[in-house]
Amino acid sequence: MLPSQKRNDAVELSDIQTFAAVARTGGITRAAEELNTVQSNVTQRIKALEAEIGTALFERHSRGMTLTGAGKRLLPYAQRMAALSREAVLAARDDGEPKGPLSIGSMETTAAVRLPPLLADFHRRFPAVRLSLRTSPTADLVTGVLEGMLDGAFVAGPVAHADLTVTSAFREELVLVSARRWASLAELRAGTPESGPTALAFRTGCTYRQRLEQIFVEFGWPSAARFELGTLDGMIGCVAADMGVTLLPRAVVERSAMNGSVTMHALSPSHARVETLFIQRRAGHQTSALHGFLSCLTRDDDIIAA
Partner DNA sequence: CGCTACAATTCATTTTTCGAGAATTCTAGT
Partner DNA sequence: ACTAGAATTCTCGAAAAATGAATTGTAGCG
Applying CB under 8 A, the residues found at the interface with a copy of itself are: 1-2, 4-5, 7, 9-14, 16-17, 52-55, 57, 69-71, 73-74, 77, 80-82, 84-95, 101, 103, 105, 134, 136, 140-141, 143-144, 149-150, 283-285
Coil, strand, or helix at residue 85? helix
Q: Which is closer to a copy of itself, CB of 8 or CB of 270?
A: 8
Applying CB under 7 A, the site for DNA has a residue count of 22
Please enumerate in sequence order all residues whose Cβ is within 8 A of that of 24, keeping only pairs 6 or more positions apart, or say none.
31, 34
Binding to DNA in span 19-78, by CB under 7 A: 27-29, 36-41, 43-48, 60-65
Strands 129-135 and 100-106: parallel
> Pick from a copy of itself, DNA, none: which does 295 bind, CB < 5 to 8 A by kind?
none
In the complex, minimum distance from the CB of residue 220 to a copy of itself, in angstroms, rounded to a whole number: 35
Please enumerate in sequence order all residues whose Cβ is within 8 A of that of 44, keeping only pairs 6 or more positions apart, or say none.
none
> Pick from a copy of itself, DNA, none: which does 291 bind, CB < 5 to 8 A by kind?
none
Coil, strand, or helix at residue 181? coil
Q: Which is closer to a copy of itself, CB of 25 or CB of 261?
A: 25
> Pick from DNA, a copy of itself, none: which does 45 bind, CB < 5 to 8 A by kind?
DNA
Q: Which is closer to a copy of itself, CB of 56 or CB of 225?
A: 56
In the complex, minimum distance from the CB of residue 53 to a copy of itself, in angstroms, rounded to a whole number: 5
Cα separation of 70 and 114, whole Å?
A: 45
Binding to DNA in span 161-200, by CB under 7 A: none
Q: Which is closer to DNA, CB of 42 or CB of 169?
A: 42
Cα separation of 198 and 175, whole Å?
A: 16
Q: Which is closer to a copy of itself, CB of 88 or CB of 241?
A: 88
In the complex, minimum distance from the CB of residue 155 to a copy of itself, in angstroms, rounded to a whole number: 13
> Pick from DNA, a copy of itself, none: which does 134 bind, CB < 5 to 8 A by kind?
a copy of itself
Instruction: Find the farthest-apart pair of alpha carbons in the chain and give their distance in angstroms, rounded.
Output: 79
Cα separation of 130 and 121, whole Å?
A: 14
Q: Which amino acid appears at position 274 of this protein?
A: V
Q: Which is closer to a copy of itself, CB of 77 or CB of 227?
A: 77
Q: Which is closer to DNA, CB of 28 or CB of 212?
A: 28
In the complex, minimum distance from the CB of residue 48 to a copy of itself, in angstroms, rounded to a whole number: 13
Burial group, residue 121, by CB count within 10 angstroms (0-12, 13-18, 19+) = middle
Helix-strand-coil percent breakdown of the chain, rounded to 5?
45, 20, 30
Cα separation of 76 and 82, whole Å?
A: 10
58 within 8 A of 46, measured Cβ to Cβ: yes
CA 59 to chain centre: 32
Peptide bond into 137 cis (omega under 30): no
> Pick from DNA, a copy of itself, none: which does 90 bind, CB < 5 to 8 A by kind?
a copy of itself
Cα separation of 123 and 104, whole Å?
A: 13
In the complex, minimum distance from the CB of residue 271 to a copy of itself, in angstroms, rounded to a whole number: 29
Cα separation of 152 and 21, whole Å?
A: 24
Q: Which is closer to a copy of itself, CB of 90 or CB of 176?
A: 90
Give residues in contact with DNA (CB under 7 A).
14, 27-29, 36-41, 43-48, 60-65
